[in-house]
Amino acid sequence: MSWLAKLYETYNQVIDNHTLPDRPDPYFHIREGCHIEITLDDSGCFKSAQSLVTEKIYGNKTFYTKHDTVIPVTPKSLTGRTSGPAPYPLAEKIQYVAKDYREYGGTKASYFSNYLEELKKWASDAQCSHWKVKAILRYVEKGTVVKDLVNAGILFSFNKGGKQMLITKWQDQAEKGEKKPPLIQSLTGGEQGNAIIRWRVQKKGEPDDTTWNDDDLIKSWQLHSETVQENNGFCQILGNVAYITQTHPKAIYPQAINAKLISTPTDPGYLTYQGKFTDDSQPVGISFEASQKSHNTLRWLIHRGQGKTIGESKNKNRPAMIVSWAVSGADIPQPLEDTWDLLSEELNEVSVPSLEAENKIDHTIDHGQSFSIALGKYMAGYKAQLSNTGNIVIMGLDSATDGRMAVTYYQEFFPEEYIARISQWHNDFAWFQRHKIEKDVGNEKTESRTVWAVGAPSPRSIWEAVYGTTLNNSLKKSTVERILPCIVEARPFPRDLVDKAVHRACNRSTKRLPDQYSNRKSEIAAWERHLGIACALYRGYSKRNSKINKEYLMGLEQDNTSRDYLYGRLLAIAERLEYIALQVADEKRSTTAGRLMQRFADRPSSTWRNIELALQPYIQRLRSNRAGFLHNIQTLLDEVMNKFTEGDFVNDKPLSGEFLLAYHSQRLDLRNRTKTKEDDELENEGEQA
């Protein structure tokens, strides 16, 4: 189905659903910042007023913010306000609302008659008028708006020849030593005619006195507008005759505030429809209702967090956005999150045990099963919630130019299908990932420690591991575009991303972090993170690739005798041996195995010779200090050596990503088995070479 039609459907399902915490803006309304609030009683008498402008100070800058309110609009008022009057029906500027604006020396033209006419039409509409509207009409007709506001001290005036006049230039007051009030600060040029008023109408027995939260009032305006607008064309979304609009909303998300999804070019030089069509109303007909509802829904979805930005706003680049939602408005598991963020509290309790218990995690057993059971339980909750609702939709947005936005990805899924595919992604690509958690230990101190939790990496982590922290926006966007079908459509993973990730994980000395964060400890921590991600990618890739089609256990595979796997284990063992020996002598050098890792991946057999020879002096050292550990690790080394089949060991061909899986599992296993107290401290500081 067309994305526009789907958004329209979502609006209709969601707008009356009061179980949701928030809802899209109703159509025939927009959000506008209001400066002043006037409270009336139901017979149209002024009661009080207040200024809505607030002052916020950040550092040495002060910001004056208005209050965003939902106000009713007419289609004309959305586009025709720059030249000539085009009134909003209810909440409007003083220039429109106040009959006595000019009397008080207002310099701008008074559009009061236009405003009054619209309001009268609404108030006198027999079927859809509202008592609040009538009250406001009665008050406005009295023509004392500015007078009341000046008397209440909201608007500022000065005495000129016995008459009170609105202040238009603040210089004179500043000379007197008065500070500019927030209201004047927030208006361009200090012009008080531009201040927008919103209304409250109080009536005995009615709890809600607002004009923006009142469902009845909103519906009354919608009904009135529908009768007023004439049906002048066929709408392709609704499938019937309706009031057609040529202009569509912009500002879908804040980072692309000028971009429109549906834009009609005013410049005939843009060849978007010339040929068959002779003017811009011919190619497509979309009704105002469909356009408003769909765009409001999209904005609301992004605003409430169901859209994820990719890339940054920098140097005329705009970020892309991926929005995912269920047509019913229910919560869904977001596709671009890694397992850690997705499962947050629930799973983390399981996979993040206390410090002591973590030491006892046996990395030789398969953690995959327990992980997939926990994930299954979590997804089952969603399955039950989503089973009877409409489809899940994922939509990607991007803009190449400032004024236009394109739909770069659009897919619909059945709920069961979506949940199954997301679970499959998290299961296939799960591996031990390095995370840091901060625990509050009281006394306002937090203790941070690293944990290796099982989970799948997010696309953001993937492109960090593959490309580093390059700031190329289009590269980020195209990588995520390639990975998204793997997550939600269960496609095989692109091989070049896996190869790059593996390659980068082998290269210990490459710089991984931008300058401001880069130091020895954090680089090592980053390397460990990328190691986890590369292993996860290789594991998932080999599961989905039809030629390899192998599922690796999430733990050390003791009986795996393939050449690559065993070589990985050897490397980890040699590194651990040397590391402990360096520790004993309190040296902070990197190990030979670590330095030669890249070479080892290219030429394992010949590089192993170098590593083994380099181990000799460390073996001597450990013989005197840690004999027990030495014995254990040498036994392990022999065990692994024996597993090599004939001819495999001398084969010098480059290793595939499989060796990384073995290397990582063995490394984690050894660390837990032979952990010392110093290990713990060093690990928390990220100093594990």
Partner 1 sequence: MHDTPKNTVSFKVYGRYALFTDPVTKIGGEKCSYHLPTYEAIKGVLKSIYWKPTFIWHVDKVRVMKKLRTQTKGTKPLVWSGGNSLAIYTFLHDVEYQVQAHFEWNEHRPELAKDRIDGKHFAIAQRSIERGGRQDIFLGTRDCQGYVEPCVFGEGEGAYDDIDELGFGLMFHGFDYPDETGKDELRSRFWHATMKKGVLEFTRPCECEIDRLIRPMKAKQFAEGENLLSVDVEEAVL
List contacts with partner 1 (CB under 8 A): 1-6, 233-234, 236-237, 239, 260-265, 268-274, 276-278, 280, 282-286, 396, 398-401, 404-411, 474, 481, 485
Tokens at 443, concatenated: 């006394």
| Residue 292 or 666 with smaller CB distance to partner 1 | 292
Least Cβ distance, residue 240 to partner 1 (angstroms): 9
Helix axes 473-488, 415-428, angle to 10 degrees: 110
| Residue 263 or 605 with smaller CB distance to partner 1 | 263
| Residue 328 or 399 with smaller CB distance to partner 1 | 399
| Residue 277 or 517 with smaller CB distance to partner 1 | 277
Least Cβ distance, residue 269 to partner 1 (angstroms): 4
Least Cβ distance, residue 408 to partner 1 (angstroms): 4
Query: Could you count the other beta carbons within 10 Å of the beta carbon of residue 50?
Result: 13
| Residue 176 or 316 with smaller CB distance to partner 1 | 316
The helix or strand, by DSSP H or E, that contains position 664, with its residue range, turns out to be helix 658-673
d(CA 102, CA 543): 76
Tokens at 376, concatenated: 């299954």
| Residue 6 or 434 with smaller CB distance to partner 1 | 6
Least Cβ distance, residue 421 to partner 1 (angstroms): 14
| Residue 278 or 388 with smaller CB distance to partner 1 | 278
d(CA 604, CA 593): 11
d(CA 229, CA 477): 42
CB burial of 259-287 (b: ≥16 within 10 Å; e: otherwise) equals: bbbbbbeeeeeeeeeeeeeeeeeeeebbb
Three-class SS state of 483: helix
d(CA 176, CA 179): 9
| Residue 272 or 522 with smaller CB distance to partner 1 | 272
Tokens at 537, concatenated: 């990618």
d(CA 359, CA 347): 19
| Residue 328 or 656 with smaller CB distance to partner 1 | 328
Question: CA Rg, the chain, in Å?
Answer: 33
Least Cβ distance, residue 494 to partner 1 (angstroms): 13
Return the DSSP state at 81: -
| Residue 289 or 669 with smaller CB distance to partner 1 | 289
d(CA 293, CA 281): 20
Residue 35: name the closest of 245, 162, 185, 176 by CA.
Answer: 185
Least Cβ distance, residue 260 to partner 1 (angstroms): 7
Q: Which residue reads 């057999």 in tokens? A: 605
Least Cβ distance, residue 487 to partner 1 (angstroms): 15
> Could you give the angle at the alpha carbon of 282 between the alpha carbons of 279 and 288, nearest 5°?
115
Three-class SS state of 675: coil
| Residue 246 or 372 with smaller CB distance to partner 1 | 246
Residue 491: name the closest of 541, 548, 419 by CA.
Answer: 541
Half-sphere exposure of 52 (CA within 13 A, CB side): 18
Taking the alpha carbons at both ends of the chain, their separation in whole angstroms is 54
Three-class SS state of 450: strand
Least Cβ distance, residue 396 to partner 1 (angstroms): 8
Least Cβ distance, residue 86 to partner 1 (angstroms): 24
d(CA 533, CA 503): 12
Indicate the residue type of 582: L
| Residue 57 or 271 with smaller CB distance to partner 1 | 271
